[in-house]
Amino acid sequence: MAYEPAGAPDYFNIDDLLTEEHILIRQTMRDFVKREISPKIEQWAQDAHFPSEIVKKFGDVGAFGPTIPTEYGGGGLDYISYGIIMQEIERGDSGMRSTASVQGSLVMYPIYKYGSEEQRKKYLPKLASGEWLGCFGLTEPDFGSNPGGMMTNIKDMGDHYLLNGSKMWISNSPECQVAVVWAKNEEGRIKGLIVERGMEGFTTPEIHNKWSLRASCTGELVFDNVKIPKENILPNVDGLRGPLGCLDSARYGISWGAIGAAIDCYESALKYSKERIQFDKPIGGFQLTQKKLAEMLTEITKAQLMVWRLGTLMNEGKATTQQISMAKRNSVDMALHIAREARQIHGGMGITGEYPIMRHMMNLESVITYEGTHDIHLLITGADITGIQAFK
Pairing of strands 178-184, 277-278: unpaired
Q: Which of 298, 365, 362 is nearest to 12 (CA)?
A: 298
Strand partners, 360: none
Helix axes 94-101, 79-92, angle to 10 degrees: 140
Q: For residues 359 and 337, what is the distance between their CA atoms, to the nearest angstrom?
A: 14
| Whole-Å CA distances, 205 to 44, 95, 300 | 20, 18, 38
Is 371 one of the annotated active-site residues of the chain?
yes
Which helix or strand (DSSP H or E) is residue 187 part of?
Answer: none
Helix axes 94-101, 357-367, angle to 10 degrees: 40
Contact 144, 195 (CB under 8 A): no
Q: For residues 89 and 67, what is the distance between their CA atoms, to the nearest angstrom?
A: 16
Any residues with CB less than 8 A from the CB of 122 and at least 6 apart, and which? none
Strand partners, 206: 219
Other beta carbons within 10 Å of 211:
10
Among 140, 220, 341, 371, which one carries the catalytic annotation?
A: 371
For the chain, what is the total number of helices (H) and then of strands (E)? 12, 9
Q: For residues 200 and 383, what is the distance between their CA atoms, to the nearest angstrom?
A: 43
Q: Which of 332, 336, 354 is nearest to 268 (CA)?
A: 354
**Residue type for position 45:** A
Three-class secondary structure of residue 220 per DSSP: strand
Pairing of strands 134-137, 178-184: parallel
| Whole-Å CA distances, 233 to 181, 193, 222, 237 | 10, 4, 18, 10
Q: For residues 220 and 237, what is the distance between their CA atoms, to the nearest angstrom?
A: 24
How many CA atoms within 13 Å lie on the side-chain side of 314?
Answer: 28
Catalytic residues: 371
